[in-house]
Amino acid sequence: MNLIVDVGNTLVKIAVFQDDKLIEKQSVVISGFEALQKKIFEKYPNIKKSILSSVGNLPNEVIEILKMHCKVLVLDASLKLPFKNCYATPHTLGVDRIALVAASVHNNSHQNVLIVDAGSCITYDFITNENDYLGGAISPGIRLRYKSLHLLTANLPLLETEMPASIVGDTTAAAIHSGVVIGIIKEIDGVIDDYREKYSDLTVILTGGDAIFLSKRLKNSIFANSNFLLEGLNFILEYNTH
C-alpha cells in the first residue's frame, strides 16, 4: 500500500493506492497536513512506502513525521524515470510535470501524447511514441489571469471564474470573462491543433483543477483525468522501489 503526497502552493493532496488502484484521495491546506497524515496512517496501517512531490513549502518537521511511519521517496529529476528526458535543462523540470509524463508512459505507452495540466499555470507536455519527453509550454492559468488583471491594473475588479454568455462582452465584467475564459479555450484548442498537424495520431490528456470546467468547452477530442498526476507519482514510486 502506497501513500502519495503532492504539495502545491496552498494545498496538499494525499492519495492512497493499493497497487494501481486509487482507494482514497483528500486535500488539505499545508498547515493541516500533519493532522491529516495521522488520520491516514491510523486508517491504513499497512502503508509501507510513500512518495513526496513538492512545488510548495512543507515544514521539515512534518516530513520527518512522515518518515517515522514509512519509507519516503522524494521526487526530483535525479530519480530513475520511465522515460527519456530530452529537456535541455532536465534539472529545472518541475516535479509535477515529471509525474504527468510518467503517468502518460504508464497509461498511454508508445503513443504520441500531449498532456495539458490546467491549474495555477497551464502546462503543455509532449512525449513521443518512443517515450521521449521533448518539452512543452507554460502559460498563466485561469485564476492567475483573473488575478493579474485585477492586481496589475487600477480599476479592473477581481471576478470569480464564469463562462461568458458571448464572446462579445458588453460590460467590463463580461469582457473580462470573455478575455480570460474564451481566451484560454482558444489557446488550448490552438495548441492541440498545432500538435495534431505534426502528429495526426495524437492523444490528448487534460488534467488539473480546471480540467472539468474546460473539458466541456474544448472543440478537440480529449481524455479528462483529474487523478493523472497522482497516478504518475504512484508509478514513479513503484518504478524506483521494485
Whether 170 has a binding-site annotation, put simply, is no
Marked catalytic residue, from 19, 20, 76, 96: 96
Whether 11 has a binding-site annotation, put simply, is yes
Whether 117 has a binding-site annotation, put simply, is yes
Whether 13 has a binding-site annotation, put simply, is yes
Other Cβ atoms within 10 Å of 221 Cβ, number: 10
Whether 149 has a binding-site annotation, put simply, is no
**Cα–Cα separations (whole angstroms), residue 50 to 17, 28, 193, 204:** 10, 17, 38, 29
Q: Give catalytic status of residue 125 as yes or no.
A: no
Whether 95 has a binding-site annotation, put simply, is yes
With residue 52 as reference, give the H or E element that holds it. Answer: strand 49-54
Distance, CA of 69 to CA of 45 (rounded, Å): 9
Q: Which triple of cell numbers denotes residue 116?
A: 495539458
Residue in the structure block whose three cell numbers are 503532492 = 6
User: Among 135, 127, 87, 134, which residue's Cα sits nearest to residue 111?
Assistant: 127
Whether 210 has a binding-site annotation, put simply, is no
- As annotated, the binding site for K(+) includes 117
- As annotated, the binding site for substrate includes 87, 94-97, 172
Enumerate the active-site residues: 96
- As annotated, the binding site for ATP includes 6-13, 120
